[in-house]
Amino acid sequence: MERSKKPSAIPVSPTIPTPQVSISQDNARVSASLPTGESVEVLLHGATVISWKSANGKENLFLSSKAHLDGSKAVRGGVPLVFPVFGPPPASHPTSGLPQHGFARTSKWEYLGKSSSESSKLPNSSGDASIKLDFGLSNDMLESLPSEWKKYAFGITYSITLSREELETSLAIRNTGDTTWDFQTLFHTYLAVDDISKTSVHGLEETSYTDKVGGAKATSASKAPITITGEVDRVYSPALSQKITVSENKKAKFEITRDELGDVVVWNPWEGKAGTMADFGPSDGWKKMICVETGAVSKWNNLEAGDTWEGGQRIKLC
């Protein structure tokens, strides 16, 4: 019998746009984008973030036009990962046979997968969707290591999370062996700026630092925001709660917060040093970048067998 009041059909809700991930055909890069247009691109070589774009297509990271993206060299630009040593390794230390900044940035990482979240389920809402990409590296994936470091075992998970106005990078470094070892680590982030002469870094005014230009020397706090008028290579250790802001034309552009990363390196090679780097381009590219690098590098971090160290940074667009 026909019912007079048939329940009406349940409307099919329109497909909710979700973050997308794609892997290049040669299996060398992983890209992710949000329904609102933001995107990130990661090379498996070094798990190097080589692009982070805003919804309007604006690139937030500097990538040298001469960067090697084929795995033959560390990438000049983006976010190379420093581990297990920052700078040239000291003599008579287990890292002494390693290249400058260690091996993480020149190793091929494994893509472990993605996870995404959509906070709003309302149709046509872009919500606050975010996408997290995980990458892994362990000692058995490396072909060659100096004999000192060969006795150690590690497993690293590197997570890169893209959300609407933020890029978060975080590391979980685990000692999977039975011997304690020391490490340093850092996100060597090359931020893109339009004009270095109008760029300033805020939040480090009250902190003394090590000035590495012309040999490391302890230097007292500058009491003023950092402006770049020549080569700058400084290591600061500000309080963890201290936000670092990069401004252009006195307007905040990037805001950086940190978890467990007690050090901040500010680097710009200026014309002279950039000219000596074969992979630095274009020749005036140093006017378009500033490295604000967060890390744990001013001392050795000791990791006992079975322990995991976790740390990360968030870069927010202002």
Determine if 38 is a binding residue for ligand G6P (CB under 6 A). Answer: no
Can you tell me the distance from the alpha carbon of 152 to that of 300, in angstroms, rounded to the nearest whole number?
A: 16
By CB under 6 A, tell whether 291 contacts ligand G6P.
yes
Per DSSP, 148 falls in state H
From the list 212, 243, 288, 316, which residue makes contact with ligand G6P (rule: CB under 6 A)? Answer: 212
Instruction: Name the residue nearer to ligand G6P (CB basis): 129 or 289.
Output: 289
3-state secondary structure of 81: strand
What CA–CA distance (Å, rounded) separates 211 from 275? 21
279 phi and psi, to 5 degrees?
-100, 15
Ligand-binding annotation for 3, yes or no, is no
Q: Are 225 and 202 contacting, i.e. CB atoms less than 8 angstroms apart? A: yes
Considering the complex, state which of residue 39 and residue 103 has its C-beta at the smaller distance from ligand G6P: 103
267 near ligand G6P, rule: CB under 6 A: yes
Nearest to 291 by CA among 102, 105, 79, 85: 79
Tell me whether residue 62 or residue 134 sits nearer to ligand G6P (CB atom): 62
Of 168, 233, 255, 263, the one binding ligand G6P (CB under 6 A) is: 233
The verdict on whether residue 100 carries a ligand-binding annotation is yes
* Edge-to-edge strand ranges of the sheet holding 244-248: 110-117, 130-138, 154-163, 166-175, 308-317, 251-259, 244-248, 199-202, 226-227
Does residue 201 bind ligand G6P (CB under 6 A)? no
Answer for the pair 97, 91: CB distance below 8 angstroms, yes or no: no
Query: Binding to ligand G6P by residue 101, rule CB under 6 A?
Result: yes
Told to check if 204 binds ligand G6P by CB under 6 A, we report no
HSE toward the beta carbon, residue 165, CA cutoff 13 A: 8
Residue from 188, 206, 260, 271 carrying the catalytic annotation: 188
Please enumerate, as own/partner, the contacts of 142-148 that have beta carbons within 8 Å and a separation of 24 or more.
142/103, 142/107, 145/97, 145/98, 145/103, 146/94, 146/95, 146/96, 146/97, 146/98, 147/97, 148/94, 148/95, 148/96, 148/97
Question: Residue with the closest Cβ to ligand G6P?
Answer: 267
Answer yes or no: is 105 a known binding residue.
Answer: yes
Residue 65 in the binding site for ligand G6P (CB under 6 A): no
45 lies in the site for ligand G6P, by CB under 6 A: no
Helix, strand and coil percent figures for the chain, each rounded to 5:
5, 45, 50
Nearer residue to ligand G6P within complex by CB, 76 or 132 = 76
Q: How far is the CB of 84 from ligand G6P (least distance, A)?
A: 15
293 labelled catalytic: yes
Q: Which of 24, 27, 100, 197 binds ligand G6P (CB under 6 A)?
A: 100
Nearer of residues 168 and 293 to ligand G6P, judged by Cβ:
293
Of 205, 293, 304, 310, which is the active-site residue? 293
Q: Which is nearer to ligand G6P, 166 or 211 (CB)?
A: 211
Residue 139 · residue 151 · CB < 8 Å? no
Interface size with ligand G6P, residues (CB under 6 A): 10
**Which residues here bind ligand G6P, judged by CB under 6 A?**
74, 87, 100-101, 212, 233, 265, 267, 291, 293
Task: Return binding residues.
Answer: 76, 100, 105
Active site residues: 188, 293
